[in-house]
Amino acid sequence: MRIIRNRKIVEDGWIHVADDAEVPADGDVIVSWKRWRESREALLARSGSGSARLGVRLPNTLDPHEVQADLPHFALIAVEFPKYRDGRGLSIARMVRREGFRGELRAVGNVLRDQLFYMERCGFDAFEVDKSKSIENALEAFSELSVTYQDAIQPRSVPRQHRWRRS
């Protein structure tokens, strides 16, 4: 599957594992928050071998404070966007980054071109674009705006770039 990572289209090596599927012995996997809570010890043992990284998929209804203590165990956090008009995933991204998560933060689900620039400002660095949309076209979203008025996780605001002087 192709995704956008760090503003480039790349082949993704991560495997999304369904709750009712067996977790492969090797390879980087993304499991649901539910599965993480049910199989924490087995997943830690699997990723502790060093040959496989672990990612978790968070529902946008999750209180980010629930995942705070587990952040060091994840190389990737995928945040679900079930509907394009639901911005709770943006808040999760900001809170996870503020807590110091430095791994890949990926937007999944109904991820649309018009949202990518703003999602990146909240801390996302990878995006699974809606399969019905052109990923090449979505990539162009990052070049449409160059500055913003307010700071975010990615500080590029006009006040930071210019020194305002009083007359």
Residue 166 lies in a domain: no
Q: What is the mean pLDDT of residues 28-56?
A: 91
Q: What's the total number of domains in the chain?
A: 1
pLDDT at position 51, please?
A: 73
Q: What is the pTM of this model?
A: 0.84
Domain of 142 in residue numbering reads as: 2-82+92-160
For residue 59, how far is the Cα from the chain centroid?
12
Q: Is residue 165 part of a domain?
A: no
Q: What is the pLDDT of residues 65-106, one digit of tens each?
A: 899 999 999 999 999 999 877 788 999 999 999 999 999 999
| pLDDT, mean of residues 114-129 | 92
pLDDT score of 59 more than 70: yes
pLDDT at 145: 64
Q: What share of the chain is helix, strand, coil (3-state, %, to 5)?
A: 35, 20, 45
Q: Lowest-confidence range among 7-11, 16-20, 47-51, 103-107?
A: 47-51
Q: Dihedral of the CA atoms 99, 32, 117, 11 (nearest 10)?
A: 120
CATH number, residue 128: 3.20.20.70
pLDDT confidence bin for 127, thresholds 50/70/90: very high
| Exposed / middle / buried, residue 135 (Cβ in 10 Å: 0-12, 13-18, 19+) | middle
CA gap 94, 57 in Å, rounded: 16
d(CA 81, CA 69): 23
